[in-house]
Structure 1
Amino acid sequence: MLATPGAPVNPRVFLPAAAVVLALVMGGALWTEPLGRGFESLHQMLIQHFGWVYTTVVALLLGFVLAVLLHPRFRRLRLGPPDSRPEYTYLSWFAMLFSAGMGIGLLFYGVAEPLLHYLEPPHGEGGTAAAADEALRLTFFHWGLHPWAIYIIVALALAFFSYRHDLPLSMRAALYPLIGHRINGPAGDLMDSLAVVGTVLGVATSLGLGVMQVNAGLAHVGLMAVSVHNQILLIVFIMAIATLSVLSGLNNGIRIISRANLFLGSLLLLFVFAAGPTVMMLYGLLQAVGHYVQGLVALTLRTDVFHGQGWQASWTLFYWAWWISWCPFVGMFIARVSRGRTVGEFILGTLLVPTGFTFLWMTVFGVSALEQEMRAGELGSIVQADVAQALFAMLEAMPLATLTVPLATLVIIGYFVTSADSGALVMNILSSGGNPNPPLLLKLFWSLLTGAAAAVLLLAGGLQALQTATLTAALPLSLVLLLMAWGLWTAFRADAAQVEEIGTMPEPGLDRLSRYLRERRARALPPGEAAGLHAPGRWLQLWPRRVQHWLLRRERFKDRQRAAEVLDEAEEAVRRCLDETVYPALQAVAEELNREGHPIHAERTRDGAQLCVTGEHGMHPIYVAQGRVYQRPQFAFPALHGRPERPRLATVHVTSDGLSREWSVDHCERDTLYADALRECRKWLDWWR
């Protein structure tokens, strides 16, 4: 039986995943050199025999995402109930997407990768104008649409099945259209365990790269020498900060640090854009985008079969494996913050916005580095000697280096923290059976274990060990991703067909709900019995007409009784949410605004609660929350919804400044509502004044 949401831990997922990671950590601590040699041999074997798997899988996943985006029926489906709306603003959403996705990687490779491609291109002579063009195109290829397509598959599957069909927020949920209730057995446990191990190794890779660069930044300002010992000390220190962020929750920790990261990273980007060769950057961006789009198919299917796989193994295959091993973490985190968006909006936002920002970042830092190398010829040798020094060496050659180097180090630490606590959050959810609010001790365990894994990989071989770990974790996950895409397509087809058949959502009301429940129960009964609920079947036709009418009236009466019980339960859940969550949150907002000198009053109404401002003509409501109970369509998967009598939607509907949004009673949190009400009221008060 699958661990239900709210269960503290799913032992069949937690124990195997924890055992594998603990074995890696303990083996690396006790037998560091043999483990390093084993990583080297495994790396060569994976590249030689399975490199084509990574290339094929990534190409298929990108094609799948584009096909879903272009499908007119699929892109209108919503990641949640049909009337749900996003919980986060676009700014917060994009900030969390970017921080969880690849913030550390951009800072680590933003300068180094274009320079290394320029000096050592896969084909042709290095250090030429043609090599510079190819360097930007290859950088865009590795950081463009492909990684986000991989993330989208996982995030789309998790959000769709969890928020629309009430399955646990877990990787196994995506296989329901393919294997049904068998996701609750060993197949689902294995899938979640692989996802946890892949997440640990993927996040450990990012943390390893990040701590190497933090160490390099501190060395530039004279605070700490570059060494593996110091890097492990930094892991301990920064993981302590990340653990505090994890324990503080999604809204208080990750969201705040993510927005700070985006702000500080943008400052660094603007500085380099202004201080570097600005006009050259603009030309380079246009040209690189054109080359990238023009050669997208050829680059995607490129294997260098007649040139040797050395360059492919060091760059493209490493990146594909890194993105695949990281996709359970990033995908689940994106799903966690994307409830309520349409499929089309979700794909466009996740695919294009981070990719566009990434192209801008790589152009600004890459062109600046290439210009310095072409002009002075010193930066390339530094980067070839130590990739972690690339960003700081470039900033040293610019004005205000005493400010920009510490700023860059701070941004790296910020992305380190968000990657660590986002990864810990995802591992917690997976190992607790899809519980979105897992226990604190479980969060602490995975935070510490991820930091330990990163430290062991650094001891066992540094960058080589990090690359091997990602390749190993990505191989089984590649098959899982293809199965998830297949399940998603099946689910989208079924849901889109049901939406067209049903049309709009059933109107609230006892009669409509009664008929809906009767039809559901009829579909669950054998054909002979189900016929009697809709039309006179053979068994019913044997009775006199009066008896037939009496049996049908009796069935309707039972349905009305069941429907009334359903509505009573749902209305009680809404009332409890209003009394215990909504009204106290609005009272806290009113107290805060009163301290700021605003005449705001919170009051409990018959069907909700509201915030009012006192004016010349009495009380004027500016923020209104109302409880609602109604039935939503079942759509494609009847078995996903449990008992037919279970209420589908008990929600809190919020209206402010002409805009509306809705939270399910199960997901309505006091802190979230407090922050939303305080933000909206301050916007209204600023306009009113």
Structure 2
Amino acid sequence: MAEPTAAEIVEDVPHPVDTDYEIGQNNITPLGLDIHNPVFLISGLSVVAFVLVTLMFKENAAEFFGWLRNTLTSKFDWFFLLAGNVFVLFCIALMITPLGKIRLGGDDATPDYGYMGWFAMLFAAGMGIGLMFFGVSEPMSHFASSMGGTTVEGAARTDWAPLGAAAGDIVAARDLGMAATIFHWALHPWAIYAVVALSLAFFTYNRGLPLTLRSAFYPILGERVWGWPGHIIDIMAVFATLFGLATSLGFGTEQALAGFNYLFGWSTGDGAKVLLIAIITGLALVSVLRGLDGGVKVLSEINIGLAALLLLFIIAVGPTATIFETIIHGGAAYVKEIIPLSMPFGREDTNFSQGWTAFYWAWWISWSPFVGMFIARVSRGRTIREFIFCVIVIPTVVSILWMGAFGGTAISQVIADASAPVKDAALELKLFEMLKPLPLASITSFIGIILVLVFFVTSSDSGSLVIDTITAGGKTDAPAAQRVFWCTFEGIVAATLLLVGGNQALDALQAMAVSTGFPFAIILLVMCVSLLIGLMQSLREGKS
């Protein structure tokens, strides 16, 4: 008799989801921690050691972070770009093939959340802080440098051959700059999230496995997934999530402090950074203890509402016609240029592929365990086709609207006045300089700060819930003390990287995101194979 395949073994795994798998030994400590050895101990102690060693050797650490980021993005940019393309094509294939009809949770499953609440949570967790930080700065950077092919004054640029605009063609420079920006915030990053989220949701809701990263590899590893191979996968997921979050929290801290300084003259020094992170971490702790529905969901919906109001305000009082032109032409340029932008080999634009794309893909990959597991937790009842469309296509459209409104407004200001303050402002100040010439600038700038802070909180609390689930072996009801531990250390790691980085704080943040994103990219590629095996088995048996 033939041996069963790995996919057939998956079908024999006990159901339902709350089956008590032996993922290490369960020990309730005096502190109230539900420890699943060795995932919690190794990841927890490693994070504590990282903080202590980094603070003890600040100068050496800062030098190392700078070297690490540049080395990984310059040597492996081709790998990051190639992996990103695989994830996009994989998701498209799932959506258009018969596999798309499979429903997460089975044929009779119904969605736990309506479209509005579901979309608000996945979007706030997925990109909130990043859109606030880069919504103005990145379109301007690509417009004014290599991506546009021209400078604002019209001088020719030659370091971006594939998309270079004719010298002096400002409109073409704007559209190509928007295409490059949208490329980093549209299909590719959300495809990365979708792969992880779909894998976790399918193997949890359809195959009864724990809600943890290792479960997605059962078709390949079999029962070994509960041993050291699975431990390593979950530990890597914890590291990737923690440092990916720290990067975003660092960006949020820099921008919020810059905004407070801009409006009220508050300090932006190290003490202010630590204080702000401590306050926001405290708020995140309150949200974490309130749980998914009482904390994360409520904050996410509030934030999406505020973000929508700010977006509509800018469209209404800004250069409305130019904004719509930027959105339409920029989106069209993105569709036209997505293939040359995605090419992993034979590139001349090393500044773009290494300095921008490789970092972004590593950042999104490092975020994928966090965002993916969070999306999986709130996506039961959706078909795969519906899931991929909503998780990839809708956020892509929103990103185009956001970048077109914020970036298009800033670019129009620079075109009208080459000495406009937004042109040379620091990255964290560009949003506020863009808002300054518009009506109610003080109010909208304050709303912008609030958005950054609430995105900060939603990222921190939802990230804590995810890491807690991983280190508790897939349990979604682990002790509160454990969630408090992870939420606290997310803030501590972000503060540590900001303090050690000094003037190059953002480089230190980016270095840790890239360092965890690189090995996790390999894990995600294998995850695609494992998910395909499971889905095909389900389709052959007429099950979902």
Task: Give the counterpart of 1:349 among 365, 390, 393.
Answer: 390
- 2:241 and 2:368 in contact (8 A); partners too: yes
Q: TM-score, normalised by structure 1?
A: 0.70
Any stretches of 5+ residues in structure 2 without a counterpart? 1-21, 29-33, 153-169
2:326 is equivalent to residue 326 of structure 1:
no
Give, in whole Å, the separation in 2 of the partners of 1:5 and 1:409: 42
Partner of 1:491: 534
Letter of the 2:461 counterpart: D
Task: Return 329-338 or 43-52, whichever deviates more.
Answer: 43-52
* CA 1:66–1:356: 2 relative to 1, 3 Å: same
Task: Return 255-264 or 224-233, whichever deviates more.
Answer: 224-233
Aligned-pair CA distance for 1:130 = 2.8
Give, in whole Å, the separation in 1 of the partners of 2:187 and 2:298: 27
Partner of 2:476: 436
Equivalent residues in 2 for 1:198-213, closer than 5 Å: 198-213=240-255
Q: Deviations over 1:376-433 (max 9, x none)?
A: 2244x65545100011111111111121111111111110100000110100000000
Give, in whole Å, the separation in 2 of the partners of 1:252 and 1:395: 33
Aligned-pair CA distance for 1:121 = 2.1
Give, in whole Å, the separation in 2 of the partners of 1:100 and 1:155: 13
2:354 is equivalent to residue 313 of structure 1:
yes
- 1:171 and 1:195 in contact (8 A); partners too: yes
Aligned-pair CA distance for 1:251 = 0.4
Any stretches of 5+ residues in structure 1 without a counterpart? 500-632, 636-689
Partner of 2:99: 74
Give, in whole Å, the separation in 1 of the partners of 2:27 and 2:100: 31
Equivalent residues in 2 for 1:504-583, closer than 5 Å: none
Aligned-pair CA distance for 1:227 = 2.4
Tell me how many residue pairs correspond in the alignment. Answer: 498
Give, in whole Å, the separation in 1 of the partners of 2:24 and 2:49: 25
2:123 is equivalent to residue 98 of structure 1:
yes
Q: Could you say what secondary structure the match of 1:226 adopts?
A: coil
Give, in whole Å, the separation in 1 of the partners of 2:533 and 2:371: 23
Give, in whole Å, the separation in 2 of the partners of 1:411 and 1:490: 41
Aligned-pair CA distance for 1:22 = 1.6
Q: Could you say what secondary structure the match of 2:439 adopts?
A: coil
Higher Cα radius of gyration:
1
Q: Could you say what secondary structure the match of 2:268 adopts?
A: coil
- 1:169 and 1:429 in contact (8 A); partners too: yes
Letter of the 1:373 counterpart: V
Give, in whole Å, the separation in 2 of the partners of 1:264 and 1:414: 10
Q: TM-score, normalised by structure 2?
A: 0.89
Partner of 1:445: 485
Task: Give the counterpart of 2:519 among 476, 492, 498.
Answer: 476
Give, in whole Å, the separation in 1 of the partners of 2:317 and 2:334: 26
Letter of the 1:428 counterpart: D
Partner of 2:91: 65
Give the percent of matched residue pairs that are identical in Structure 1 and Structure 2.
38
Give, in whole Å, the separation in 2 of the partners of 1:268 and 1:306: 38
Give, in whole Å, the separation in 2 of the partners of 1:383 and 1:377: 8
Task: Give the counterpart of 1:403 among 430, 439, 443.
Answer: 443
Task: Give the counterpart of 1:246 among 271, 281, 288.
Answer: 288
Task: Give the counterpart of 1:183 among 209, 225, 231.
Answer: 225
Partner of 2:23: 2
- 1:3 and 1:432 in contact (8 A); partners too: no
Give, in whole Å, the separation in 1 of the partners of 2:267 and 2:437: 21
Letter of the 2:490 counterpart: T
Q: Could you say what secondary structure the match of 2:508 adopts?
A: helix
Q: Deviations over 1:607-663 (max 9, x none)?
A: xxxxxxxxxxxxxxxxxxxxxxxxxx7x7xxxxxxxxxxxxxxxxxxxxxxxxxxxx
2:130 is equivalent to residue 89 of structure 1:
no
* CA 1:123–1:366: 2 relative to 1, 3 Å: closer
Letter of the 1:497 counterpart: R
Letter of the 1:84 counterpart: A
- 2:139 and 2:177 in contact (8 A); partners too: yes
Give, in whole Å, the separation in 1 of the partners of 2:123 and 2:345: 29
Give, in whole Å, the separation in 2 of the partners of 1:6 and 1:299: 50
Partner of 2:136: 111
- 2:26 and 2:37 in contact (8 A); partners too: no
Aligned-pair CA distance for 1:151 = 0.2
Aligned-pair CA distance for 1:340 = 1.2
Partner of 2:54: 28
Partner of 2:402: 361
- 1:333 and 1:422 in contact (8 A); partners too: yes
- 1:97 and 1:354 in contact (8 A); partners too: no
2:161 is equivalent to residue 121 of structure 1:
no
Q: Could you say what secondary structure the match of 2:35 adopts?
A: coil
Give, in whole Å, the separation in 2 of the partners of 1:124 and 1:280: 21
Give, in whole Å, the separation in 2 of the partners of 1:495 and 1:142: 34
Give, in whole Å, the separation in 2 of the partners of 1:223 and 1:145: 39
Give, in whole Å, the separation in 2 of the partners of 1:121 and 1:134: 10
Q: Deviations over 1:38-85 (max 9, x none)?
A: 1112122212322211111111111100010110x2111111122010
Q: Deviations over 1:305-340 (max 9, x none)?
A: 334x23322211111011000000000000000011
Q: Could you say what secondary structure the match of 2:106 adopts?
A: coil
Q: Deviations over 1:211-242 (max 9, x none)?
A: 11110111122151222331221101111001
Equivalent residues in 2 for 1:574-613, closer than 5 Å: none
Task: Give the counterpart of 1:338 among 357, 379, 393.
Answer: 379
Q: Could you say what secondary structure the match of 1:9 adopts?
A: strand
Q: Deviations over 1:265-316 (max 9, x none)?
A: 1111111111111111112211111111122222111556334x23322211
Partner of 2:432: 392
Aligned-pair CA distance for 1:3 = 5.0
Give, in whole Å, the separation in 2 of the partners of 1:25 and 1:166: 37
Q: Could you say what secondary structure the match of 2:76 adopts?
A: helix
- 1:5 and 1:168 in contact (8 A); partners too: no
2:313 is equivalent to residue 271 of structure 1:
yes
Aligned-pair CA distance for 1:19 = 2.3
Aligned-pair CA distance for 1:11 = 2.1
Give, in whole Å, the separation in 1 of the partners of 2:139 and 2:329: 15
Task: Give the counterpart of 1:458 among 482, 498, 503.
Answer: 498
Partner of 2:201: 159
Equivalent residues in 2 for 1:208-223, closer than 5 Å: 208-223=250-265
- 1:4 and 1:434 in contact (8 A); partners too: no
Task: Give the counterpart of 1:376 among 388, 396, 417.
Answer: 417
Partner of 2:73: 47
- 2:277 and 2:495 in contact (8 A); partners too: yes
2:232 is equivalent to residue 194 of structure 1:
no
* CA 1:382–1:228: 2 relative to 1, 3 Å: farther
Give, in whole Å, the separation in 1 of the partners of 2:27 and 2:117: 27
Give, in whole Å, the separation in 2 of the partners of 1:383 and 1:440: 46
Task: Give the counterpart of 1:256 among 284, 298, 304.
Answer: 298
Give, in whole Å, the separation in 2 of the partners of 1:298 and 1:373: 28
Give, in whole Å, the separation in 1 of the partners of 2:468 and 2:301: 23
Task: Give the counterpart of 1:13 among 31, 36, 39.
Answer: 39
Q: Could you say what secondary structure the match of 1:111 adopts?
A: helix
